[in-house]
Amino acid sequence: MLCNLKEAARIAIAENSGLPAFNVFGYEDAAAVISAAERMNRPVVLMTNKVAVAHMGIPVLAGMLLEMARRSEVPTCVHLDHATELADIRQAVDSGYTSVMIDGSQLPFDENVAVTRAAVEIARPRGVSVEAEIGSVGYSDNADAKRRFTDPGEAERFAALTGVDALAVAVGTVHRMETQGVDLQFDLLRRIRQVVKIPLVIHGSTGVADRDLRRLIECGAVKINMGTTLRMVFGQTLREQIEENPKLFDRVEMYQKCMKAVEGKAIEKIKCL
């Protein structure tokens, strides 16, 4: 069943669990994630990032993921991740996405507020949830992207000025990490939670040790974003099949094991939340 981010987060909070959010790049991993969520009877967020959008386009992704979400047996949100242009926010809203993220984290505070408020004005009348980011979560493969821990007071002001439905905060995670072991600032997360009442979001959670995922929820986070962990298991499973049988060429045949592997990894992460 299709829902927006606000609705999915409300369910997770009521059940004292985290809301799993996975970056997906096509039918195969989206279907695997939905299957995992159904088996665990948990709401889930299907996210499309800039890589997926550049490859397939927002309208194509929307048509596929929205239909899959409607058929799902659990609440499923279709979310545009890390949009930096309002044109992409508008296109996602017009295409039926139920949630969008406007990422002004690399901008000065006032500019971040302005672009976020503009995104809210586009999305809110259509019942589309809006996520934004204050502070800045860096990238393991992009040294130019600024990393900056979230200041609790700044987060409180930002949430009040923008009226967003969810707020991504920087407490030590890094996007696109291939190994676990980031040093998380749990005390900082608790202090942010004390002053920000909307759901908090943690990006770059592939780099978080499994034992710390649940601790993030206990310290105030709700939505937990993961992507690289699924991409890795999909690619590794595909590679193993080709190495075992170089004559394989039918991608639908090969994708079956990849989908099972992704489903298993998604279940593993959902259990941690």
CATH code of residue 209? 3.20.20.70
| 151-171: pLDDT as tens digits | 999 999 999 999 999 999 999
Beta bridge partners of 136: 148
Instruction: Over range 201-207, report the average pLDDT.
Output: 87
- Per the annotation, does 55 bind a ligand? no
Count the neighbouring beta carbons within 10 Å of the beta carbon of residue 56.
Answer: 16
Residue 188 has pLDDT above 80, yes or no: yes
Catalytic residues: 81
Q: Determine the Cα–Cα distance for residues 71 and 34; give it in Å rounded to an integer.
A: 10
**140 pLDDT above the threshold of 50:** no
What's the pLDDT score for residue 22? 97
| Residue 79 is assigned to a ligand binding site | no
Residue range(s) defining the domain that contains residue 159? 2-272
User: How many domains would you assign to the chain?
Assistant: 1
Sequence-distant (≥ 6) Cβ neighbours of residue 100 within 8 angstroms: 79, 80, 83, 89, 92, 93, 119, 123, 128, 129, 130, 131
Please give the Cα distance from 143 to 180 (Å, whole number).
19
Across the range 255-264, mean pLDDT stands at 97
Tokens describing residue 146: 């600024």
Which pLDDT band holds residue 144 (cuts at 50, 70, 90)? Answer: low
pTM (whole model) above 0.85: yes
**Residue 40: which pLDDT band, with cuts at 50, 70 and 90?**
very high
Q: Where are the beta strands (DSSP E) in 56-159?
A: 76-83, 99-102, 129-134, 138-139
Q: Any binding-site annotation on 133?
A: yes
User: pLDDT exceeding 90 applies to what percent of the chain?
Assistant: 82
